[in-house]
Each structure stands twice: as C-alpha cells, then as structure tokens.
Amino acid sequence: MSDLKEQLSPAEEIARAELAKAFRDTLATVAGKRVVFWVLEQCAMYRDAFSADNNVTNYSLGRQAAGRDVLAKLDEIDPRLYPALLLDMAGVREMDRAAAKATADNMENDDGDD
C-alpha cells in the first residue's frame, strides 16, 4: 500500500481520503449500513452465481465482480468494516423482526377489541 501511496498525486490522495471518509460516514449510520448491504445483495454476493444457463451465470458473475470491488474498497479502508457490517446487519434484522412482530401483535389486539 505504501507503494501506491507514493505514486498518487496530492489530488488523488485527497480524493482517496475523502472516499474513505464517505464510506466511514455512511457505515456509521443504520441507514447507511442498510444501503451498503442492499448494494451488496444486488451484486449477488450472497447467492450462487452458477446456473444451467451460461448467460445467467456470466451475468451473475459480473454482478459479483462489482460486489467484490465494493468489498475490496471496504477492506482497503479498514479490514474490520465488512465483518462489522455483517454483525451490525444481524442486529438490524433482529430489530426489524421484533418491530414487525410488535406491529402484528398490535394489529391482532386492535382487531380483538372490536
């Protein structure tokens, strides 16, 4: 990485630092984590790319290549970002399930009061 840094112009170093800051700022919020995780899902990162149709396989592999670029950027910024995102999203999903259950329970209670 020091070799790369030595080759960057001052403007490129600033742009790189600003992008890293933008990623950190985005991942500092639940909303930002949801967006980044959604992007990775759209990149088919959590699906098997292979199918009986080579065109579908190639398309999925292309999507996954974009997802690997996102993961590589996260790793370049801080190797702990992606593992932390996975752990945080598990918590977010658990909160979503609890909120959905509470909403469903409230709806049942409201229906039963009539």
Q: Give the Cα separation of 83 and 17 in Å (integer).
A: 21
| Mean pLDDT split into 10-residue runs, the chain, 114 residues | 72 97 98 98 95 95 97 98 98 95 89 60
First to last CA, the chain: 67
Report pLDDT for 3: 59
Report pLDDT for 27: 98
Report pLDDT for 5: 61
Report pLDDT for 76: 97
Report pLDDT for 113: 56
- Distances in Å between the alpha carbon of 97 and those of 65, 90, 108? 31, 11, 16
Considering the entire predicted model, what is its pTM? Answer: 0.80
For helices 54-77 and 81-112, give the axis angle rounded to 10 degrees.
110
Report pLDDT for 109: 85
For helices 81-112 and 10-27, give the axis angle rounded to 10 degrees.
30
Report pLDDT for 4: 59
